[in-house]
Structure 1
Amino acid sequence: MKLIDQSAARVKLMALLLAMSGFVSAEVVQNQVIPVTSSQSLYSMIPIGGKVAARKSVMLSAQLPGRIVSIYGQEGDFFEKGSILLALDESELRARRREAESQWHSANAALSNAMVQRNQVLASPGSSLDTPGGMGVPGLFDQMFTKPMSGMFGKRDYDVERGARVYSSSTQVTQAAQALQQANAAIEQIDTRLRDSRSIAPFDGVIVEKHAEEGDTVQPGQPLLSFEDVSQLQITADIPVKLAHVLREGDELLAKIDVGDMLTGVVVDNIFPKADPAQHTVTVEFNLPETLQSATGTYAEVYLPDPDVNTDATVIVVPESVITTRGGLPVIFVVDETRTTELRLVRLGRKLDNGRQVVDYGLMQNDLVVDHPASWLLSGSQLGASSYSLKAVDDGVEAGQAK
């Protein structure tokens, strides 16, 4: 009896010292008794490996040969749609465009001249045919007798000659117009190549990888930049056919990202219509919450119901605040019907969201555990009635009814 009184005195003294030292927070109520809850077993579900990917992702490649003169950002830099990401040397293309502009001006002048000549022929079709054949009286004689008589005897047909001249002038106009169109097409072709010399952001996103640096000489088809919209993330996974056939777009499932070992909800976004005949899998895309932050390429697992396992199986789930360590091992204080604590060594499972933890071994459903256990709490300590939370009472677990 004396030994028990001494132990109780030591416990009280330790609690007093800790309180005076500020180790007991006024905001956190320690040694509160709460019930153990259960949840659907994750072990009745099959984890399928995949990776985090952006919903929008492009690989920008070189469209023409040249030397890189500018890269306007680094990995992780954000760019709005239409921004220039990378530029090649344009000096040769600029020179060719000036040459094409000169050809355009020449073709335009030729077209104007051809149109003037055609108008002259249409306005005065016989001007060149009526040119005097000689000087003075000989020329007058040719105009009055020689040319009319030659037409009368069938030697010349002046109407046919005038028609041929009109047709020839029209042909020259057409040829000049075609030359002008060719010059326009050459300029448009060069402008297209000038646009291809720059890599433009097709949507709002960030540079995730650079495949070339300033000064590098590239060839058509060579990768330059990887650009992604990381504001919309997905998990891409190859699902076995026997599991994929029960999935529908909009289905909600659980997934685990390889960051903090945390579970999160995902939604089926797209199910590819074609299966891989070698792997017997179907590619499925799952949308992640917009608030979740993760790097693309991160390993992820999606949990699908196993048709061969009983889905009614449950697991023990507790808040992380009930778990403490003794000797480097995870332990939980369990309270029996006499309000006495018992130190139990537990084996932890997966970590859930909202600060919850799966316990694989060491607890049973409806056990009462100590939340936020004080550092001085020992196995065999006696807890008062005030330590029992309203939640424990609402769940029908009164003091003295641990199980």
Structure 2
Amino acid sequence: MFHKYLSSALLLGLLLTAVGCKDPNHARTKTQTLPSAEVRVITVAGQASQRQIEVAGAVEAVQKATIAAKISGVIEELPVALGAVVKKGALLVKISAGEITARLSQAETQLAQAQRNFEREKRLLEKDASTRETVKSLEDAYRVAEAGASEARAMRNYAMITAPFAGIITQKMTNTGDLATPGTPLLVLENTEQLQVVVAAPEGMALKIKQGDTLPVSIPAAEFSQTGTVTEISPSADSASRTALVKLRIEGDASLRPGQYARVALPGGAAADTFLVPETAVFRFGQMERLFVVQENTAHLRLVRSGEHRNGQVEILAGVNGGEQVVAQGGERLVDGQPVRIVQ
């Protein structure tokens, strides 16, 4: 038993000795044996960058009309379907208007009678067989009848609802046989040839926007990206959301539809110093972003945090200092601590 414990003690001692005798400079020695790599570098410098914040919005038609009835009646005809393309003046809805037609007939009859009376009395006045007062009274009656007939014609026209402009029927809230009442929406007509993006901008940012400004607009569903021109800015902010409506005109595109989700980049706070490096200098490792900085001809790994990507460059928000040399090409094969040789 004693020999068994002695053997175990000797074995443990040998293991501890082996660990304790391990060279602490082993990792450094291994790194120093790495071959020197050729790299291209850039010297980063702070650049003024205006911060931008994206807000959500929606695509809308500049021309949009909610078609509603002005009179009550049963819908006799509804010749348009959802998504139908209509021309200006095309018939959209016909409402039954029997009472209005009868009223128009009555008004036109009264107008014809008042006109005959007025003309007859004028001829009698020319023969001194009437008085000016009588003629004036009949003339007034004629004018009243004329106004009544005009009103009846207008009411009859209300029974025939036509398109105020060319566009597409984007909503249909009624069908043939339904009862139309004044003010009740029947259809929605939109002109998709002229589109805009409407966003609710935080009140602080809205103050920095003026009519005529151009802002970046993106519509992911349509793979659409361009600048929009600010056409309208609400002069007041919503007291609940503390936002103000901003409208931007965009150029038409076949893939754009009213109601699509849009993003608009608004100017944010004051300009801040940031660093721009080529996109080839930054590498992703899982959720981390990293690059290499050269100091004394040695590559040192840095974890960084990036911002916007634009024109082949990436904004570095943290992890790099001004004046440092960043590996722009050749960093994908580097190891932390590897010697490098800078080439032009």
Give the TM-score category using the shorter length. Answer: 0.5 to 0.7
Give the counterpart of 2:178 among 207, 211, 216.
216
1:180 maps to amino acid: Y
Alpha carbons of structure 1 residues 231 and 184: separation in structure 2 relative to 1, 3 Å:
same
Please name the residue that 2:212 is paired with.
250
Map Cα deviations across residues 243-298 of structure 1 (whole Å, 9 max, x no partner): 11111222222122140555332221221222223322221101112236322111
Name which of 132, 143, 147 aligns with 1:170.
132
Pick the aligned partner of 1:191 from 153, 156, 160: 153
Aligned counterpart for 2:70 among listed residues 63, 71, 80: 63
Matched with 2:91 is 84
Structure 1 residue 200: Cα displacement: 2.2
- The letter for the 1-side match of 2:221 is V
- Structure 2 partner of 1:114: 121
Matched with 1:52 is 59
Number of equivalenced pairs: 267
* Matching residue's letter, 1:210: K
Q: CA separation in 1, counterparts of 2:94 and 2:236?
A: 38
Deviation at 1:180, TM superposition (A): 1.6
* Moved segments of 4+, more than 6 Å: 40-43, 349-353, 356-360, 400-403
The 1-side partners of 2:121 and 2:220 are apart by: 75
2:82 to 75, 80, 87: 75
Could you tell me which of 288, 299, 319 is aligned with 2:261?
299
Please tell me whether Structure 1 or Structure 2 has the larger radius of gyration of its CA atoms: 1
Aligned to 2:302: none
Q: Measure, in 2, the Cα distance between the counterparts of 1:315 and 1:215.
A: 67
Question: Could you say what secondary structure the match of 1:230 adopts?
Answer: strand
The answer to whether structure 1 residue 181 and structure 2 residue 140 are counterparts is no
Query: Is residue 67–residue 88 contact of structure 1 (8 Å, CA) maintained in 2?
Result: yes
Aligned partners of 2:97, 2:113: CA distance in 1, in Å?
A: 25
Q: TM-score when scaled to structure 1?
A: 0.56
- What is the RMSD computed on CA atoms of the aligned residues? 4.1
CA distance in 2, matches of 1:269, 1:55: 11
- In structure 1, what residue type is equivalent to 2:53? I
Compared CA separation, residues 289 and 119, structure 1 to 2 (3 A): closer
Instruction: Structure 1 unaligned segments of length 5 or more: list them.
Output: 1-39, 123-165, 319-328, 330-348, 370-378, 380-399
SS of residue in 2 equivalent to 1:239: strand
Q: Percent identity?
A: 25
Alpha-carbon spacing, 1:115–1:50, altered in 2? closer, same or farther (3 Å): same
Cα 1:267–1:120 shift into 2, 3 Å: closer
Q: Is the 8 A contact 2:169 2:188 kept in 1?
A: yes
- Alpha-carbon spacing, 1:43–1:67, altered in 2? closer, same or farther (3 Å): farther
State the 1:312 CA deviation: 3.8
Deviation at 1:41, TM superposition (A): 12
Equivalent in the alignment of 1:32? none
When residues 317 and 59 of structure 1 are mapped into structure 2, their CA distance, relative to the original with a 3 A threshold, is farther
1:179 corresponds to which letter in structure 2? Answer: A
Q: 1:293 to 1:174 in 2, by over 3 A?
A: same
Q: Partner residue of 1:155? A: none
Deviation at 1:314, TM superposition (A): 4.8
**1:100 paired to 2:107:** yes
Q: Work out whether residues 255 and 263 of structure 1, in 8 Å CA contact, stay in contact via their aligned partners in 2.
A: yes
Q: CA contact under 8 A between 1:368 and 1:402: conserved in structure 2?
A: no
User: Cα–Cα, structure 1 residues 298 and 314, in superposed 2: closer, same or farther, change >3 Å?
Assistant: farther
Matched, 1:270 2:277: no
Task: State the AA in 1 paired with 2:142.
Answer: L
Partners of 2:255 and 2:98 lie apart in 1 by 43
Q: State the alpha-carbon separation in 2 of the partners of residues 117 and 51 from structure 1.
A: 71
1:189-237: CA deviation from partner (whole Å, max 9, x where unpaired): 0111122222222222111111211111011110111111111111111
Contact map agreement 2:49 2:274 (CA 8 A) in 1: no
Structure 2 letter corresponding to 1:273: P
Moved more, 308-317 or 283-292: 308-317
Do the aligned partners of residues 308 and 112 (structure 1) sit closer, same or farther apart at CA in structure 2, a change above 3 Å counting?
closer
Indicate the structure with greater strand content.
2
Q: What SS does the corresponding residue of 1:274 show, helix, strand or coil?
A: coil
The question of whether the paired residues in 2 share the 8 Å contact of 1:83 and 1:200 is answered with yes
Q: Which amino acid aligns with 1:115?
A: K
Letter paired with 1:191? R
Residues 277, 328 of structure 2: 8 Å contact kept: no
User: What's the CA shift for 1:365?
Assistant: 7.7
Q: Aligned AA for 1:175?
A: S
Partner SS state of residue 81, structure 2: coil
- Whether the aligned pair in 2 keeps the contact of 1:57 and 1:229 (CA below 8 Å) is yes
| Other structure's SS at 1:275 match | coil
